[in-house]
Structure 1
Amino acid sequence: MKCAIVRELDSLEAFLRQKGQLHCAVVQGLDFTDADINWQRLDFQGAVFLGCHFPKEVTADFLVEKGAVVFPQFPELPYNPYRNRLYARAELMEGWSAQEDRSVDKIIYDHFVKKGKSKADILESLAQRLHDHAIDDGVRDLLGGRIEEGGQKKVVGIMGGHGTSRDDPYFKKVVQLARLLAQQGYFVATGGGPGTMEAANLGAWLVDASDQEVERVIEVLKAAPHFESPGYMEAAQKVLDLHPEGGTSLAVPTWFYGHEPSNLFSRHIAKYFSNSIREDGLLAIATYGVVFAPGSAGTTQEIFMDATQNHYGTFDDISPMVFLGEKRYMEDTLLFPCLSQLADGRQYSEYIYCTDEIDSAVKFIEAHPPVKYVK
């Protein structure tokens, strides 16, 4: 049966609102074990169930006979391949203590490593891909306005070195940049790890904080400047104790680099197994621009990935590329002159900019909203 519109049902309330008419419905990760439902009266033709739990009397054979497609649960996994929402900080950190890291995040990472990471067997690989597909869906829900008020997000990505320490001047600059972007109505997205990524999510978290409060937070974090420093996570938790309520942003980390801690300052965490999907996807959703703070090889890779998307109009739109760090990008690496030469005569040549000034970076993004790529 062909479906003009596929309905995603990711809550019991949404399922019940269908009143038994489940044509073209995808039911994702729901637990029906204790739900009071007359299953005999439902119309399952064309319905798809992804990893749902059913009462004992509702078997897969029964559902298939009624016209449904059933994706079953995978046994003995520490993660849910069919999850119907993004991760939150509390979920991933559950089980963590300063004495021992038995967090959900660490347990999943250890499983990932044990299974060979990208060399996992066919069932584990399939489970990981289904999980990452579910995360993709969660990101679309968030950015499309289904999860929070305010409608569609105006996403600006912020990239930079994972090794940038909390006492580095650019850590503070990125905090201030992300805070100003959030105040101007943009939605900050990062790779979710330490360094520049932590600074960007922190800046969005502190959207309503005063300048003095921002200064105090940075001083607290400087006590454990690097993600391998003793007390690194405790310093971040101290900041959350000082500012338990903060602004919204997205972190997009990966278990491929699971030895690096996910930072604690994003409200939404889209954590992937596949690093390649995560990197390309993060740049793709940053439709209102990407800011590149100083970084090393990983940041350089992201610069040319983003340039490629603009160069060929991969996702139909062209968006700003802002280089934060004149010495780094104009002199030390020559990346900005290189990219300027590459873009010469092409549409996105007017969408690249290099500065050391926070206000100038934000004003450039405001003055250069995304435009349709013209062949």
Structure 2
Amino acid sequence: MKCSINREIDTLSSLKRLNGQLSCAVIQGLDLTEADLDWKNLECDGTVFMGCHFPTGVDEQSLRRRGAMILPRFENLPYEPYRSALYSREELMQGWTPGHDNSVDKSIYDHFHSKGGNEADVLEALAQRLHDHAVDDALRDLLEGRVEKDGRKKVVAVMGGHGTPRTDPYFKKVAHITRQLTRAGYFIASGGGPGIMEASNLGAWMANAEDEELDTALQILARSPVYTDPGYMSRAQEVIDLHPAGSSSLAVPTWFYGHEPTNFFSRHVAKYFSNSIREDGLLAIATYGIIYAPGSAGTTQEIFMDATQNHYGTFDWISPMVFLGKKRYQEDTMLFDCISQLAEGKKYAEMLLCTDEISEVCAAIENYVPTTA
């Protein structure tokens, strides 16, 4: 059967609603052992089963003869290539204690490293690509409002140095900025690691907190300023324990930099194996702007990638580029001047700002009207 539309099914409740009419459905990563289906008479022409568990006795060859495609499961992996949802902090940190890190996150990183990282063999590489495709799909569900049932997200990304200490003034500034933007209805996305990335998700998490509560959280975190310090993750857990019901935001980390801990303050974690897919994707989803706090080579690369997307209208929209840190971007480097010169005659030239003021950063984002390329 040639299917014009493929229905994506990733929950048993969605499967049940089909009443056995599975033609042109893509069944993603489900345990079907308890599914109430008449397997012998199932309509499955054009159906794709991706990594599903079948009940004992189901004749998979019969399903194929009736038009189904079955993509088999991968065995003995610490991750699920066909997962149907993003990660959560709780899932990734399962097994972690202040005394020892036996987390799922570390287990996957150790596996990735043992398989050669980006030089994995063909089957491991295939499993990783399927996993990253599944994360892409789950991320789309979140951003289009199907997960939190709140409509399409107004995504603002924040970039900056992974090594920025929790005691740095820009760490505090970023937390205040993202708290204000979250309160204003924007959805904060970061690279998911330490430094400025953690500050971004922290501010979003604390959106409903008072100023004094955010200051207390910053003081707790400051006792272990950088991610190599003893107690770094325990300090974050202390803040979570004080404020367990934080607001939603997104982290987009990668096991390519798996030695850096995924920060604790994002409700949704789109963690990838491929760093290139992760970096380009994070910039692409930030349709309501990107804020650049001081950073080094990685942040500089992201600035030029973002400028390229705006310059050529790669994803049909252009959006603000806000540089937080005049010293970094206008004195120590010529990055802001370089991007400004590049943007001359283009729509995004009017969406460039370099400032040190929290209010000006937020105003630049909040005053933005979505603009097509």
Same fold (TM over 0.5): yes
Structure 1 position 38, deviation (Å): 1.7
Q: Secondary structure at the match of 1:83?
A: coil
Partner Cα distance (2:80, 2:62) in 1:
24
Segments of structure 1 that go 5 or more residues without pairing to the other structure are none
Contact in 1 for aligned 2:355/2:361 (Cα 8 Å): yes
Give 1:101's aligned residue.
Answer: 101
Q: What CA deviation, in whole Å up to 9, does each residue of 1:305-341 have, x standing for no partner?
A: 0000001111111011000111111111110001001
Partner Cα distance (1:81, 1:175) in 2:
34
Amino acid in structure 2 at the alignment position of 1:177:
I
Give 2:46's aligned residue.
Answer: 46
Amino acid in structure 1 at the alignment position of 2:189:
A
Q: Secondary structure at the match of 2:97?
A: coil
Partner Cα distance (1:246, 1:365) in 2:
22
Q: What CA deviation, in whole Å up to 9, does each residue of 1:332-357 have, x standing for no partner?
A: 11100010011111121111111111
Give 2:153's aligned residue.
Answer: 153
Partner Cα distance (1:160, 1:92) in 2:
23
Amino acid in structure 2 at the alignment position of 1:278:
R
Q: What CA deviation, in whole Å up to 9, does each residue of 1:256-297 have, x standing for no partner?
A: 000000000000000000000000000000000000000000
Structure 1 position 370, deviation (Å): 2.5
Amino acid in structure 2 at the alignment position of 1:256:
F
Matched positions, count: 373
Give 1:284's aligned residue.
Answer: 284
Contact in 2 for aligned 1:158/1:189 (Cα 8 Å): yes
Structure 1 position 23, deviation (Å): 2.1
Give 2:269's aligned residue.
Answer: 269
Could you tell me the TM-score, scaled by structure 1's length? 0.98
Segments of structure 2 that go 5 or more residues without pairing to the other structure are none
Q: Hey, which bits of structure 1, 4+ residues long, moved more than 2 A?
A: 1-5, 34-37
Contact in 2 for aligned 1:320/1:370 (Cα 8 Å): no
Partner Cα distance (2:353, 2:364) in 1:
8
Q: Secondary structure at the match of 1:27?
A: strand
Partner Cα distance (2:63, 2:121) in 1:
29
Q: Secondary structure at the match of 2:171?
A: helix
RMSD between aligned alpha carbons? 0.9
Structure 1 position 56, deviation (Å): 1.3
Amino acid in structure 2 at the alignment position of 1:353:
L
Q: Secondary structure at the match of 2:362?
A: helix
1:304 and 2:312 aligned: no
Structure 1 position 34, deviation (Å): 2.4
Partner Cα distance (2:3, 2:23) in 1:
8
Out of 60-69 and 255-264, give the one that drifted further.
60-69
Q: Secondary structure at the match of 2:188?
A: strand
Out of 150-159 and 342-351, give the one that drifted further.
342-351
Partner Cα distance (2:320, 2:60) in 1:
49
Q: What CA deviation, in whole Å up to 9, does each residue of 1:209-243 have, x standing for no partner?
A: 00010000000000000000100000000000000
Give 2:136's aligned residue.
Answer: 136
Give the percent of matched residue pairs that are identical in Structure 1 and Structure 2: 63
Give 1:61's aligned residue.
Answer: 61
Partner Cα distance (2:246, 2:83) in 1:
25
Contact in 2 for aligned 1:320/1:369 (Cα 8 Å): no
Structure 1 position 201, deviation (Å): 0.3
Give 1:14's aligned residue.
Answer: 14
Give 2:195's aligned residue.
Answer: 195
Give 2:112's aligned residue.
Answer: 112
Structure 1 position 63, deviation (Å): 1.8
